[in-house]
Structures are given as C-alpha cells and as structure tokens.
C-alpha cells in the first residue's frame, strides 16, 4: 500500500502570515496545500517559491464561508489522497467600524469568515485525523481577541471565539492524539498594519516592549513548532507572538 504524503493545509495562504507559514512548512519537507479566496496569482506564486526550493505545493480556491464548499473540498482533495498532518486555520477578514455604527453585514461577514470558517475546516479535518489517530490543528487568533480593540468589535469577537473553540476542541480530540492550539499574533508587518498611519504605528510601538512590529516569519516559526513532534504534549494553549504587547 502506498504511503500517503504528509500534508499541511494552510487556509488563506496567499499572502502575509499565511504565506510565511506555507513557505516555512514547505522548507521543512511538508507537502503544502494552501487555499485562497481571491488572490490566485499570489497563491500560485507561493507554490512556485516552495517548489523552486525543492518542496511540493498546491493552491486551491476555497471560500471558508461556504460550508458545503469546505465539506466538498475535504472530500475531494484531502480524504484518502494525502495524510493530513496539520491544519492551519489562517484565513481571515476585517471590516472595522465603531460598534454603534457597525452594519449587520459587516458583523455577519467577519464572524462567518473568522469563526464559522475555521470551525468548518476544523470539523472536517478532525474527521480525517480521528481515523489517522494523529493530527495537529493550529488556529490563528490575535492579540485583540484577548484584549479587545476599539473599532473592531466584530473581529475581536471572532478571534476570541477562536480561543474558546480551540480549548473545547483540544479537550474533545486529545484522546485521539490530536492537538489543538492557538497562535495569537500581535502587530505583525503585513498589508493590514501597513495601512496604519505613522502616528498610529508610533503609538503601538510605544506599547511593545521589544520596540518593533513582528515579522510574519515570527508567527510561521511558532506554527511550525506546534505542528512538529516537539510540541506533542502541548494542546489547548494560546501562544502569544506579540513582542510583549498586552493591551
């Protein structure tokens, strides 16, 4: 019987933190399946970079907001085709606004992508990992999911929900040798933080003991460690990658 290839699935792997995670896992010898919602060219570029470095990678269009689509993806691309060693729930969306003026659609869409989507992927991955009797699930939350942040009630609620989901899943799945953990980045140098004004950036830097924004690679290294056998006895934990920032 042919042994299935050890594979990591990274949702939202076309840019920023997701891209760094995909490339880091590829460099460590994992086959990388990465998903994207709209950035097809960027996702394919990530795959090319992984392949040119000697790895294996494939990009797939997937809207984590589509429950039926998520179920079909796992059935058609994952189940029985690869050994799903790790799932990294990274896909996310922001639609900021003060809560008194927040539109229902902005609340609903952010909760669907940032909480319902990870739940759907976790649920489908768990079914496969239970049969494998092993697996690693890493959910990407945020420092604001722990602290809150003005103008981001929807995003903070979703990222806080990720932490609760993770802790519950860890208790249910541990007996199956499946670990479930959270990585909670602080302010990382991505497209999102590049939109900050110089004044806002300076204020954030004042509150970070290490005195700098994080790099996506800082998050990627933490994810890679949690996905490895070196972290086999760690589950239900929130690993903060925030330079010491606590709001």
- Residues annotated as catalytic (active site), given as ranges: 155
Phi-psi region of 184 (alpha: psi -120 to 50; beta: other; left: phi over 0): beta
Distance CA 8, CA 50 (A): 13
Buried b (16+ CB within 10 A) or exposed e, 128-152: bbeeeebbbbbbbbbbbbbeeeeeb
Q: Are 62 and 69 in contact (CB under 8 A)?
A: yes
Angle between helices 40-52 and 16-27 (to 10 degrees): 20
Phi, then psi, of 46 in degrees rounded to 5: -60, -45
């Amino acid at each position: 019987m042919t042994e299935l290839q050890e594979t990591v699935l990274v949702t939202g792997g076309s840019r920023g933190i997701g891209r760094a995670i995909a490339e880091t896992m590829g460099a460590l010898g994992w086959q990388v399946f990465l998903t994207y919602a709209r950035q097809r060219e960027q996702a394919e570029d990530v795959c090319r970079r992984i392949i040119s470095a000697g790895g294996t990678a494939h990009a797939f269009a997937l809207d984590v907001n589509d429950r039926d689509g998520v179920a079909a993806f796992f059935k058609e691309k994952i189940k029985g085709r690869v050994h799903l060693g790790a799932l990294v729930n990274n896909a996310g969306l922001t639609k900021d606004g003060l809560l008194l003026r927040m539109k229902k659609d902005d609340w609903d869409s952010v909760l669907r992508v940032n909480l319902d989507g990870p739940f759907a992927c976790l649920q489908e991955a768990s079914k496969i990992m239970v049969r494998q009797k092993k697996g690693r699930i890493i959910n990407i939350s945020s420092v604001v999911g722990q602290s809150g942040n003005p103008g981001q009630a929807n995003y903070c609620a979703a990222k806080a929900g990720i932490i609760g989901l993770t802790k519950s899943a860890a208790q249910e799945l541990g007996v199956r040798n499946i670990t479930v953990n959270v990585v909670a980045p602080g302010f990382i140098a991505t497209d999102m933080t590049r939109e900050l004004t110089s004044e806002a950036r300076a204020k954030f830097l004042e509150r970070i003991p290490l005195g700098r924004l994080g790099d996506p690679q800082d998050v990627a290294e933490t994810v890679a460690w949690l996905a490895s056998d070196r972290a086999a006895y760690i589950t239900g934990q929130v690993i903060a990658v925030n330079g010491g920032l606590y709001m």
